[in-house]
Amino acid sequence: MPTVRFARCLILAGLVVILGLPIPLIQAARPDLIKIDGSSTVYPLTEAVAEEFQKANRGKIRVTVGIAGSGGGFKKFCRGEIDIADASRPILKEEMALCQKNGINYYELPIAFDALTVAVSPKNTWVTSMTVEELKKIWEPAAQGKITKWNQIRSDWPDAQLALFGAGADSGTFDYFTDAVVGKPKSSRGDFTASEDDNVLVQGIEKNKNALGYLPFAYYAAQMKKLKAVAIAGKGEPVLPSAENVLKGTYQPLARPLFIYVSEQAAKRPEVNDFVEYYLTEGPKLIAEVRYIPLADKAYGMARERFKKGVVGTGFGGEPEVGLPVEEIMTRPPKQ
């Protein structure tokens, strides 16, 4: 009976696997593995750096990068499961407490800028700039169902339906935009097209003359023909999102720094130390290549110094803040 023999083979194979289990459990994890997880916004940067770093080391050091999200990354980080956490926002109070409970100290290192871009369709002829006040009028929770036409924002704009596009509620982009515009994280009207996939937003905004939406700068930079960026007037003149304006500090309050958090324990391992050094020296070139905005040279210098001197902790104290220059974050006394 061949089928019976087949069945016996299956049972045997199952036994072999079950008996084989204890063997790998005894073996320790490979020492040359660097584990990174966290924000999907930071992912393209870390991926680029990891790719080059592995090439430079001829595959002797292995790097893995996941996209669990900023929150998911911190959770793993503070449990000691990963060496580095990618984050599009600073560490929050409860995450600090979890890290402290597990005895994990960390370096908070800014690595690049993102400029949240408010965009309209290229077919839109009337909008070139907006003030933060106007954005707030559109996006605050009280606007839900009330602010539905363009001419409610400025009277000389057309009497046309306002079609809104924005980030999904789980993303760091949503947290930051609502914090910067409305004044409170996660406080937003609910009647807009939300997507975690920013390419969906690009398509939605491009096709609709009456659309208005916000997305990370890289998505705008990659599709400049399909979107028209709106200049944002924070305190002074309206400013367009660009690497230059972000570095000058004039694109406010929508420019945000991105971070990596490195565990102090892991940084003692030479390969993790090398990787972070590499990130802060070679990173800027790669960052421009993946269409993000590098920090000023001075800020990278400060970050390198902080890492070398072993200054652990966060410059934020568990509260989200908007519009802070990176240099100021780095000069604050860090908290654990």
Which residue from 20, 31, 145, 190 is in contact with another protein, where contact means CB under 8 A? 20
The arrangement of strands across the sheet holding 117-120 comes to: 193-195, 163-167, 211-215, 117-120, 228-229
3-state secondary structure of 256: strand
Lookup: tokens for 279: 């990130």
Long-range contacts of range 266-271, CB-CB < 8 Å, 24 or more positions apart? 266/34, 266/83, 266/84, 267/107, 267/307, 269/31, 269/83, 271/32, 271/34, 271/61
Q: How far is the CB of 88 from another protein (least distance, A)?
A: 14
Round to whole Å and give the CA distance between 293 and 269. 29
User: Interacting stretch for another protein, rule CB under 8 A, among 89-97, 217-225, 256-264, 266-274?
Assistant: 217-225
Q: Is the peptide bond before 44 cis (omega within 30 degrees of 0)?
A: no
Site string for another protein, 160-199 (x = CB under 8 A): ------------------------------------xxxx
Phi-psi region of 82 (alpha: psi -120 to 50; beta: other; left: phi over 0): beta
Read off the DSSP letter of residue 231: E
Which residue from 14, 103, 158, 270 is in contact with another protein, where contact means CB under 8 A? 14
Which residue from 216, 241, 253, 294 is in contact with another protein, where contact means CB under 8 A? 216
Q: How far is the CB of 293 from another protein (least distance, A)?
A: 13
**Which C-beta is closer to another protein: that of 38 or that of 90?**
38
Of 34, 91, 102, 75, the closest CA to residue 278 belongs to 34
**Which C-beta is closer to another protein: that of 25 or that of 159?**
25
Round to whole Å and give the CA distance between 197 and 171. 10
101 binds another protein (CB under 8 A): no
Site string for another protein, 222-241 (x = CB under 8 A): xx------------------
Binding positions for another protein, rule: CB under 8 A? 1, 3-4, 7, 10-11, 13-14, 17, 20-21, 23-25, 27, 29, 33, 35, 37, 40, 43-44, 46-48, 50-51, 54, 59, 62-68, 76, 81, 196-199, 216, 218-219, 221-223, 286, 289-291
